[in-house]
Structures are given as C-alpha cells and as structure tokens.
Amino acid sequence: MDDRLRVGVVLGGRSSEREISLESGRNVYHNLDPSRFAPVAIYMDGAGALWEIGLTLLVQNTTRDIEARLAHDAKRLRYEDLAARVDFVYIGLHGKYGEDGCFQGLLELLDVPYSGSGVLGSALGMDKRVQRFILRQAGIDVPRTHAVARSAWDADRAAVLAAVAAAPGYPCVVKPAREGCSTALAVLDGPDGLAAAVDAALAWDNVALVEEKLSGTEVTVAVIEDGAGRPVAYPPTETPPLGAFLTIEEKFLPGQGVNVTPARLPGDVLAAVRATAERAFAALQLRVFARMDMYVTADGRIVVGEPNTLPGSSPSSTIFLGPIEEGIGPMDLVTRIVERSLAAHRQKKGPL
C-alpha cells in the first residue's frame, strides 16, 4: 500500500500571473521527494474550478494549451471532493485569488492543510498599501507612498497630481496596490505620463500606489521558519535590474536576470537586511516561508519593498538561491515547506 502523503500541487488560477504559476507549480511537482510524497497535479482554470491533470497536460507550453484540453483530458475535481483526493495542498498559484487569502480560506473551510501563510498573512502580503501601515508601525522602513483611490482620481485628478508632486515627488514608481510580476508598473522621472500610469494601474485594482523610486541595491531574501516556527532569513540575493525595474523575464527566464548571492554588501549590512526581513515576516503574520523584496539605499536605508507569500518557484527563481548557499537544495526546501506547513496546521486554533 502507498502510504506516502498525497500532495495536490495547484497551479494556473485566475490572476494575471497564471503563466508563472504554471512554471512554479510544475517545478514544485518535480521537486516533491518521491520517496515521501505522491504528487497530484491540479489545475485551477480561469473561473476558479479545479481539474486533476496528468503529465500530458502538465507539460503543455501555456495555460491556454492546457485549458483547451481540460474537457477531454482532465478530470473535474469538485471543491467538496478535494479532501478525499489529497492530504495536503501545495499552493503553486500567484496573485489574486491564489496568494491573497481567498484560496487559503477555501482550504480552511474544506479542512485541507496547505503550504505557507494563512488567510490574514496572505491578504496582508498581497496588499502593498495596507502592509506598509503595519510595517511602519513595527519600525520598518517602507517606500514613501501616496495611495490613489479610484474615487479620488475620478473626482479630482488635479488634486492627486498636486499631492504626488508634494510627496513622494519624482522620480516615482506607479503600480496597482495588489498585483505581482511587475504588472502595470511604470517608473516616471517627472509628471509627464503620470495620468496615463495611474489609469493603467487602476485598470488592475481600485487603488493605485505612487511611491518614491528607491535607488541603490535591490535585494531579495528568503525567510523560512525553523523547526520551532521561528523565521530565519537566508543569504540575500542581489537582483540588479537591467532597465528601470525588474521585468517578468528577468525574474523568471533562465539566463535573463542577473542574480548575485550573497549580495555584494558589507557583512553588517547583510546582517541588518536579514534581521529586517525576519521582523517584517513576523509583523505581517506570515507563516512557513516567504521572499522579501528589499532595497539598500546609498544613504544607508534598509527598505522593505514587498513580501511575496507565494514566491515564484520556477527552476531559476530567486527563492532557491539563499537556501542553496547554506546547502539546502530545492527538493529539501520543498520538503521543509510541506513539513512545517503541516506542523503549523496541526497547532492552529482557527484559520492559520
């Protein structure tokens, strides 16, 4: 009898990041230790429905190719039947409905333990406006930010443009409050193009952020709970953008981005970056693992740009680089994430 833990790896999903989710999910699928885990690939379609898929669909090039074959080559898996089919869900989704607490809430109702942060941590991790209130309260530096609600934008554009000129000023970065993969992100040197950039960001969310453009060293840090549930930051990876900001290609395509681990920073700065990443993880109620995107500015600020509660996990993703420095390979990391998530769900009182 096969007594391995049945791990459903959920990939695809409803968000703008579904192609990256396909890369992340199938890499996790192949890094589930076969001596301990029995993987089940589960595709979430654009409407949020789940389908059990075999290897033939898992290796398709794009989510569109998979979706075209679902009706014939996959088996619909009703939410109510998930707990009977798998013992654990490894969430390979990114972005809205997958990374923001929605899917986590569904799994809580179904009593299926899952990887990573719970409902609240996931929601905070996704919302760059709200998370900054909490980080600031915890004494952690975040980008100076002006949030533009759609209602304010529609009511008085001139007032918003004047407020942005006063703070954060220029250069600035414009983005939706809750997206990923650099979706609808613009870097501006002056007010030219600000209205178009806010319009573009508001096409994705009802809140757009206009924030100060940080210069210096961009780093990203894996934080993973140890056996006692304490967050531990791994060696930071330097991710110098080739252009004005890190593109989706630099983040995920092998050979496109430049990554240096450990980041080329003095030892005391590296230690401060790691300590800040751990404090931010705890302040935002994150669990099991996350990746913190941070900046070290020329004038010595250590700034948390954003957490990623379900970080990209394709073969060339930065989440693996810090742990590799300390001898933890991708399969070992995936095993730890499953084990620690199971432990967290065993100990929780109410939703994680």
Ligand X SMILES: Nc1ncnc2c1ncn2[C@@H]1O[C@H](COP(=O)(O)OP(=O)(O)O)[C@@H](O)[C@H]1O
Q: Which of 218, 257, 337, 340 binds ligand X (CB under 6 A)?
A: 218
Question: Site mask, Mg ion, residues 283-312, x = CB under 5 A?
Answer: ----------x-------------------
SS3 content of the chain, % helix, strand, coil (to 5): 40, 25, 40
Residue 143 contacts ligand X per CB under 6 A: yes
Residue of closest CB approach to ligand X: 245
228-237 core/surface letters (b: 16 or more CB in 10 A; e: else):
eeebebbbbb
How far apart are the C-alpha atoms of 159 and 149, rounded to whole Å? 12
Considering only CA atoms, which of 345, 352, 341, 338 is closest in space to residue 29?
338
Q: Is residue 20 a contact point for ligand X (CB under 6 A)?
A: no
| Cα distance between residue 257 and residue 277, in whole Å | 22
Q: Which does 185 bind (CB under 5 to 8 A by kind): ligand X, Mg ion, none?
A: ligand X
Q: Which of 99, 211, 225, 238 binds ligand X (CB under 6 A)?
A: 211
181-200 binders of ligand X (CB under 6 A): 181-183, 185
Tokens of 334: 């995936």
352 forms beta bridges with none
Amino acid at 310: L
Q: How far is the CB of 135 from Mg ion (least distance, A)?
A: 15
Among ligand X, Mg ion, none, partner that 261 touches (CB below 5 to 8 angstroms by kind) = none
Burial of 87 (0-12, 13-18, 19+ CB in 10 A): middle
List the x/- string, 89-128, binding to ligand X by CB under 6 A: ----------------------------------------
Residue span 278-307 as binding mask against ligand X, x where in contact by CB under 6 A, dash where not:
---------------x-----------xx-
Residues 144-183 that bind ligand X (CB under 6 A): 173, 175, 179-183
Distances (CA, A) of 205 to 120, 193, 259: 19, 19, 30
- Closer residue to ligand X in complex, CB, 182/285: 182
Which partner from the list ligand X, Mg ion, none does 197 bind, CB cut-off 5 to 8 Å by kind? none
Distance CA(347)–CA(324), nearest Å, equals 29
Taking the complex as a whole, the smallest distance from the CB of residue 241 to Mg ion amounts, in Å, to 11
Considering the complex, state which of residue 86 and residue 208 has its C-beta at the smaller distance from ligand X.
208
Q: Output the smallest distance, CB 121 to Mg ion, in A.
A: 17
Do residues 274 and 326 make contact, with C-beta atoms less than 8 angstroms apart? no
Q: Which residue is nearest to Mg ion (CB)?
A: 293
Backbone conformation region of residue 91, classed left if phi is above 0, alpha if psi is from -120 to 50, else beta:
beta
What does DSSP assign to residue 327?
T
Omega of the bond leading into 241 within 30 degrees of 0 (cis) = no
Q: Is position 17 an interface residue for Mg ion (rule: CB under 5 A)? A: no
Cα 237–chain centre separation: 16
Interacting residues with ligand X (CB under 6 A): 143, 173, 175, 179-183, 185, 211-214, 218, 241, 245-246, 293, 305-306
